[in-house]
Amino acid sequence: MYTKKVISHFKNPHNQGKIKDADAIGEAGNPVCGDVMKIYLKMAKNKKGEEIIKDVKFETLGCAAAIAVSSALTDLVKGKTIKEALKITKDQIVKDLGGLPAPKIHCSMLGVEALHEAIKNYKKEHSNKT
């Protein structure tokens, strides 16, 4: 049984789509269930000069839980520094959604993996330019 918040994120996902000129893209998938998540990041600097996630979007092919996780994750990371974003855990996403059925908990891990992959790709690209 899905919570109202999961159903809401599934029916009206936040930040769904592509960022055409994304600074980084990360992708994660689960070969068992077939879910695939792609996270797009647009970076900027805050007033302290720290790099923050200015914009984030996702494309997810998967079940209701996978789409809800992607939506909730993008809400959680928008405006965060890279360091703050890397601290977000699957448990935080599940808690934010009010819980997920046990067989769907793996979806929250996919979101975290896709985010970490995008940040890793951003750092790799960015370090080459400096």
Q: Which domains does the chain have, with CATH numbers?
A: 4-125 (3.90.1010.10)
Q: What is the dihedral of CA 50, 128, 85, 107, to 10 degrees?
A: 160
Say yes or no to pLDDT of 123 above 80. yes
Which two three-digit tokens encode residue 115? Answer: 């985010």
pLDDT single digits (tens) 72-97: 999 999 999 999 999 999 999 999 99
- Give the number of other CB atoms < 10 A from CB of residue 1: 6
Say yes or no to pLDDT of 30 above 90. no
What burial letters (b/e) apply to 87-122, b meaning 16+ CB within 10 Å?
ebebeebbebbeebeeebbbbbbbbbbbbbbbbebb
Q: How far apart are CA 130 and CA 75, in angstroms?
A: 30
Chain-centroid distance, C-alpha 126: 20
pLDDT band for position 130 (cuts 50, 70, 90): very low
Say yes or no to pLDDT of 3 above 80. yes
Say yes or no to pLDDT of 60 above 60. yes
Q: How far apart are CA 128 and CA 2, in angstroms?
A: 44
Mean pLDDT of the chain: 92
Q: H/E element holding 57?
A: strand 51-61
pTM of this structure:
0.92
Q: What is the dihedral of CA 75, 48, 89, 69, to 10 degrees?
A: 10
Which among 45, 102, 97, 99 has a CA at the least distance from the CA of 76?
A: 97
pLDDT, residue 129, reads: 56
